Amino acid sequence: MEKYNTEMLKAEIINMPKHEKILAINQALNNYFLTQQGLGLQNSMDYEDDFEIKAKRLIEDIHVDTMFKYERDWNWYFNADNIPNQKSVFATKDFLEKYRSKDLEPLDFFNILFRQIDELKGHLDKPIDFINHLRALPISEIQKHTLWGMILYWHGGYPVENLNPKYDTILKLIERDFHSSLANAKTPEKDFCATSSEQIKVLKDAEANVHAALKRQFQITESRYLNKVDIDFEDLPKYVVQHGIVRMFEGEHFRKDADYMEWQNKLITFLNTISDQYVLKSLQKGVEYAQKVYYYHLQNECRDRNNCALNETWERRIALAEQLIEKLVPKVAVEDMNREETGGKNKDFTTARQVLALHYLLKQLGINIVDNPSSIAKFIQFLTGREVNANRIQDTTIYKKVVKPFNLNDKTLKRDLEFIIPFFKEIGLMAAVKDIEDEIAKC
């Protein structure tokens, strides 16, 4: 009787999508491990001698094709929670379908593009390494030309003029390669990815508004956003709304940390001049107003949420205002909330261990938790009930562990791995057990 081998396995999975292929291979490995331990069924098949090695290599081969790109579907890209700037999503997709349909599959290109945009964020201190990485991608010259152009487009277009010096450097290096590729050809990318005259006007108008606001030293009587967001200021007097909320949370460029301290001091000074009955509500409504204005900006004005100078100013001012609220709210309320969060939980069931366990569980399905950390963190939050009072999932310990699931301390990591492995043994998920054992051996 012929032994079961990886060629047979390949034939079985040839028409499956990537995640199903990996799931099928892991299931085959699981059956193999059970057979090796004498736990298989009576009619268990025999396996070729090096089945484990070849099967794992097969998984690696499947991953190699996707190391430089994501495996997302269109639902992810057309979700405004993931990409608020949906106008650019539509524009990019339309461009690819109109001009590059013979060279690129649009969804495949989106997965490459956004993987490389995320890679760029991780290489801000190593711009030359990132450029060399882009040049070495296993794609055609036309595809590289389109990729470089679209990276520029998603960061405001070219010529590059970025307020963040690190982004400015790396984007100008990309711009140089973009122009040198297909240098003698008039390509549609050279038109599409250029900063439009309309965009230049928007930027200039925004800059003019900022300078005007600075010159007036906050002596403003109305807001460009007040009529664009839905908010009820309840019984707050007009002067509190105008001077303590609207003018404090306009769109402004703060260039150094001292600017934020000065802003906070001005807010505190104003709060000291109003009735105590309005102080807490003024801060709470200020945070609500700022969050809604910030969301409006992301939806309608911001072209790149990770590289917009205004975004930081709203986020940090909101954080400073929330700190003031925390000082005003009675401590007992916070203690009660924390008690509710931690009560009745086993101290051994730490967030780090729960994230590790889900990492190995989802790995059997071909899912890498780092690829979509926000969704995975929300899923863990739902399963565990941890940190449910957090305003943003990105602020939770769960999210931070999902982004970096392996503890840098080998001793701690080893203890965590040794703690979770019995659970996988009990449910018979031997492929995961083997992966965990391999990781323990590295500690």
- For 338-361, the pLDDT digits (tens) are 444 444 456 788 888 999 899 888
Q: Quick one: residue 157, left, alpha or beta (phi over 0 = left, psi -120 to 50 = alpha)?
A: left
Q: What is the pLDDT of residue 221?
A: 47
SS (H, E, C) 267-308: HHHHHCCCCHHHHHHHHHHHHHHHHHHHHHHHHHCCCCCCCC
Q: What is the pLDDT of residue 75?
A: 92
The string of pLDDT tens digits covering residues 198-245 is 555 555 555 555 444 433 433 344 567 777 777 777 778 888 888 889
Phi and psi at 293, nearest 5°, equal: -65, -45
Once rounded to an integer, what is the mean pLDDT over residues 100-123? 89
pLDDT at position 337 over 60 = no
- In the chain, the amino acid numbered 256 is K
Domain layout of the chain by residue ranges: 6-64, 74-195, 198-329, 351-442
Q: What is the pLDDT of residue 219?
A: 39
Nearest to 187 by CA among 160, 158, 161, 167: 158
Q: What is the pLDDT of residue 64?
A: 55
Nearest to 393 by CA among 375, 407, 411, 408: 375
Angle, CA of 255, 82 and 59, to the nearest 5°: 120
The string of pLDDT tens digits covering residues 365-377 is 778 787 777 888 8
pLDDT at position 109 over 60 = yes
Q: Cis bond leading into 127, ω under 30°?
A: no
pTM greater than 0.75: no
C-alpha atoms less than 13 angstroms from C-alpha of 273 in its C-beta half-sphere: 10
Q: Is 313 exposed, middle or buried (0-12, 13-18, 19+ CB in 10 A)?
A: buried
Q: Give CA–CA dist 442/51, Å, rounded.
A: 23
pLDDT at position 67 over 80 = no
Q: What is the pLDDT of residue 381?
A: 85
CA-CA-CA-CA dihedral for 207, 209, 211, 216, to nearest 10: -170
Given the structure tokens 């984007």, which residue do they identify? 171
Phi and psi at 370, nearest 5°, equal: -70, -25
Neighbours of 59 (CB within 10 A): 16
The string of pLDDT tens digits covering residues 416-442 is 899 999 998 888 888 889 889 888 887
CA-CA-CA-CA dihedral for 211, 212, 215, 216, to nearest 10: -150
Given the structure tokens 């807010």, which residue do they identify? 267
Q: Give CA–CA dist 123/168, Å, rounded.
A: 13
State the DSSP string of 148-189.
Answer: HHHHHHTTT-BS---SSHHHHHHHHHHHHHHHHTTTTS--HH
Long-range CB contacts (< 8 A, 24+ apart) of 229-234?
229/289, 229/292, 229/293, 229/296, 230/292, 231/285, 231/288, 231/289, 231/292, 233/285, 234/281, 234/285
- Whether the CB-CB separation of 144 and 134 falls below 8 Å is answered with yes
Say which range, 56-65, 68-77, 213-222, 235-244, has the weakest mean pLDDT. 213-222
pLDDT band at 106 (very low <50, low <70, confident <90, very high): very high
- Whether the CB-CB separation of 321 and 283 falls below 8 Å is answered with yes
pLDDT at position 290 over 70 = yes
